[in-house]
A and B are shown apart, each in its own frame.
Chain A
Amino acid sequence: MYLQQLLLHIIEKFNGQRSYSAAYHLICGKRSGQTIQDVGTFRLQAYFSIMPKLSRDKFNEAFEQLMENGWVFYDDQQMLQLTVRGKDILEKSQPMHFNGWFYRGNEYIFFKRLSLIVQTLSHVRAKDYRFIPIQKEEDIQIWVKMFLKYHPYQDSSFYLQFRDEIEESLHKVPSSEQAKQIVMLRLTGFQRTGWTLQQLASEFDCGEIDIQLMFVELLHLWLDLLTAEAAQYPLLYQLTENVRIELLLTDSTKKTVDLFEKGYSLEQIAFMRHLKMSTIEDHFVEMAMIKPDFPLHQFIEEKDVQKILQVLERTESKRLKVIRDELPQFSYFQIRLVIAAKGGE
């Protein structure tokens, strides 16, 4: 159900201009020029990469369910739209609070650290020093070991502070009791086992994917809070180290940006990097979308920008072809740059 609500959100934002596959790539966080551009064009930052491991089968299943329920349909131009019922469902559903663009799956790093620390503190308090670490990844284990070494983790004052920070911050997270229960039940401690996704799904009478989505959403909200109020939660804030993505360009784009800033032209960059022009253009579109100081006017004059924006507004379309047909004097690349730089405004 939660997954279907999410799909309704995305399909509504696409407004018939993208297929349902684009929604899949968005949720999985595909690092292609097209998906990145869609994020900017349709303001879908929140949902980018919120379920990197979602299988195509599971996704298709959920989508077919939407069709069967009569919540979406293809209009006479074969564009995917919400039905009246679909719109109604969406309006009545709780708003979602993902923040995928800044976390992209990294929220799990925060959770894994938390889970191993809670498990350790719980066992140390019970004087049981021979437990099997619940998180197997070496880098998580090393991180937690350093964290605990740095703090007096055997002191009750530390123990209480850590617990209080969890309790106080989580109280402030604007989310359902259910989502908080899910996160707490995914933790384990001395003589306290965790609940599997399947067990949570059957308890809350929903699908395993719904549980995963609620889990990720809560982590996003929690991480946002910890970042905003770092001073109040000094211990938990440390767990957010390198979780939030501040460098938002993809690696390859970053290289192109560096060359561009050194003064090379598109053609030169394509030649130097052994990449196709279209790929380099994708990089520029990504740059236009993310960098506020992108020099758009090196590629198109301001009066032309206005022309494109007017057509955009009039046709209410973000399909390139529609705009190009009206303004054949501009290249696709120019139009894409304008949409990327101004699309969200």
Chain B
Amino acid sequence: MLELEQLLQQHFGYTTFRSGQKEVIEAVLEGRDVIALLPTGMGKSLCYQLPGYILKGPILIISPLLSLMQDQVEQLKRFGEKRVVALNSFLQGIEKQMVLQRLSSYRFIFISPEMLAMPIIQSVFQQLRFSLIVVDEAHCISQWGFDFRPDYLKITEWIPKQQRPPILALSATATKKVVHDMKTYLHMVQPFEYIHSVERANLHYDVVRTQSVDEKFDWIIHHILQSEGPGIIYTQSRKKTVAFAEALTGHHIRAAAYHAGMEALDRQFIQQQFLAGELEWICATTAFGMGIHKENVRQVIHDHIPATIANYMQEVGRAGRDGHDALAILVYSPNDEEYTQYVVTADLPLECHVDLYKEYVKQGENPKKMIDLQQISETGYRVLSYWMEQLSPDKVIQKLDNLRQQKIEQILQVVALVKGEHCLREQLTIYFDQKLEQKPPNCCHYCGIHYDEIIHPRKTIIGQKELPTWVERLHSLLP
């Protein structure tokens, strides 16, 4: 067998593994079930990409989000891999038939959980011998995870209990409870576990208390005028992203809003500009981040109480991937948690939705109508219909009530983290059932923090983009 490093160089152009990758890959190659918790941006995908060139037979990757799937397919194609396909709802008609017919010739097959539940897919899959099943973002399988997706539970019905290929469960962050759920639901047999430390010594945490929403806004703008990015402001509404971006551009700082309501092309332009260093600040909803591989983000600012500690970790984790010092600031004002609670539970179905659903079914109508009639959000309907198929209406109401309580519980954990008089770094490691070996200087607001020792004061303002004539522009695109 070729040395792993040699293959790494040959297919991906890297010379060394990042921490955790080699251990995980070796366990996968031994045919063991593996749970790998690696932080985002640490090359989780390589853990199945490299084995693809050693194992015999296609690798199946189950992925919860279309955008994520697309990102990974593109990444593989960029490395020159042609035998890769994504099975999702976009695939239609003849093309779908063609793909399904020659499925065994692919090296990597990506699929969404919805597709996996389809009878045609299941019958095609029976003919295939996968060499590995990868469950990406595996925390979605647990209702204790921050991102529970009912669809994901359907995987468990599909995965054979015996005589199956090994399973690799990947996630960025997970508590013990979540890891336990992964093992149970995926029927994993004595898995090898690689759990990367959540501790990031180059990340420094601050919490800033302000008296009002306006003061909070002004504090953030003032702070950005004093210090340098690149940075990301995470906020909760599309309107706010625009407000921040306008305030910053008003001060000649290159900033842009980013949210899911924008045109796809615009969203890509913003990502490209941020990567190219043409934009210094992105003012975003949580829609921003996935598939962004920018190493030198120096600051992440939250203007709100995040919904869960894991969300918070994921978002601040986008700072300082280059290993240099970076700053994570959470600015809050009184009652912020109430707004978060509103945002987080807004999509949860209520008792009245359960009744409506029952009523439609009783009248022989498709309850999906509720979405068209704007009686429920799409996300809400997804959760509702899943549970209505599983449980009796009474139990569903109870279940939804539980979910609501859990979500509120998770927000309270963040509140405790933020408002508590403890070392924030220590609290974070405790939350993820890990131990903190050592505190870096400028650890957090509790231990003491000086911005000027972490980030640079603002010296430069990136000039505005020059407007070329159309001919100049054409010749710069095609010189």
A residues engaging B (CB < 8 A)?
118, 121-122, 125, 129-134, 136, 138, 159, 162-163, 166-167, 170, 177, 180-181, 183-189, 191-199, 202-203
Contact = CB atoms under 8 A, between A and B. Distances in A.
Given A181-B470, A184-B473, A202-B249, A136 B264 contact: yes
Interface residues of B, number: 36
B470 A183 contact: yes
| Interface secondary structure of A, over-half rule | helix
B76 to A, nearest CB: 11
Given A130-B78, A197-B266, A185 B478 contact: no
Nearest to A196: B266
A192 B476 contact: yes
Given A134-B268, A181-B469, A183-B470, A163 B478 contact: yes
B272 A177 contact: no
The list of the 4 closest CB pairs from A to B, nearest first, reads: A189-B477, A180-B470, A184-B473, A130-B78
Contacts of B266: 196-198
Contacts of B475: 163
B270 interface: yes
Interface string B257-273: 10000111110111011
B265 A193 contact: no
B365 to A, nearest CB: 21
A197 B478 CA distance: 22
Interface centre among A138, A184, A186 (most CB of B within 10 A): A184
B477 A184 contact: yes
A133 B476 contact: no
B1 to A, nearest CB: 27
A54 to B, nearest CB: 13
Nearest to B78: A130
Interface in B56-74: 70, 74
A327 B479 CA distance: 68
Given A189-B477, A192-B476, A181 B269 contact: no
B118 interface: no
Contacts of B468: 181, 184
B276 interface: yes
27 contacts: A118-B477, A129-B80, A132-B74, A133-B74, A134-B268, A136-B70, A136-B264, A138-B90, A138-B91, A138-B95, A162-B478, A166-B478, A177-B469, A177-B470, A181-B468, A181-B469, A181-B470, A184-B473, A184-B477, A188-B269, A192-B477, A193-B276, A193-B278, A194-B265, A194-B269, A199-B256, A203-B465
Interface string B269-289: 110110010100000000000
A159 B474 CA distance: 13
B467 interface: yes
A208 B236 CA distance: 23
| Interface secondary structure of B, over-half rule | helix
A185 B473 contact: yes
A163 B479 CA distance: 9
B269 A130 contact: no
B471 interface: yes
Nearest to A142: B95
B79 interface: yes
B270 A196 contact: yes
B479 A188 contact: no
A199 B269 CA distance: 11
Interface in B81-121: 90-91, 95
Contact of B470 (A163, A184, A203): A184
Given A118-B477, A138-B90, A163-B478, A196 B256 contact: yes
B478 A203 contact: no
A185 B466 CA distance: 11
A131 B80 CA distance: 11
Interface string B205-247: 0000000000000000000000000000000000000000000
Contacts of A166: 474, 478
A193 B272 CA distance: 6
Contact of A194 (B79, B256, B272): B272
A191 B474 contact: no
Interface in B420-479: 465, 467-471, 473-479
A65 B273 CA distance: 34
Nearest to A138: B90
Contact of A186 (B70, B79, B265): B265
B477 A187 contact: yes
A198 B471 contact: no
B78 A181 contact: no
Nearest to A160: B478
A122 B269 contact: no
Contacts of A186: 265
Nearest to A126: B479
Nearest to A203: B467
Nearest to A189: B477
Contact of A167 (B78, B269, B474): B474
A4 B270 CA distance: 29
B257 A198 contact: yes
B473 A167 contact: no
B222 to A, nearest CB: 23
A121 B479 CA distance: 10
A305 B94 CA distance: 51
Nearest to B90: A138
Contacts of B477: 118, 122, 184, 187-189, 192
Contacts of B269: 188, 193-196
Contact of B273 (A170, A184, A185, A193): A193
Interface centre among A162, A163, A199 (most CB of B within 10 A): A199
A181 B265 CA distance: 17
Contacts of B78: 130-132
B284 to A, nearest CB: 14
B22 to A, nearest CB: 24
Contacts of A125: 478-479
Nearest to A187: B477
Contacts of A170: 470, 474
A130 B77 CA distance: 8
Given A122-B477, A184-B473, 12 more contacts: A125-B478, A130-B78, A138-B91, A138-B95, A184-B468, A187-B473, A189-B477, A192-B476, A192-B477, A193-B276, A202-B249, A203-B465
A226 to B, nearest CB: 16
Contacts of B268: 134, 194
A127 to B, nearest CB: 13
A195 B276 CA distance: 13
Contacts of A184: 468, 470, 473-474, 477
B474 A188 contact: no
Contacts of A189: 476-478
A199 B256 CA distance: 9
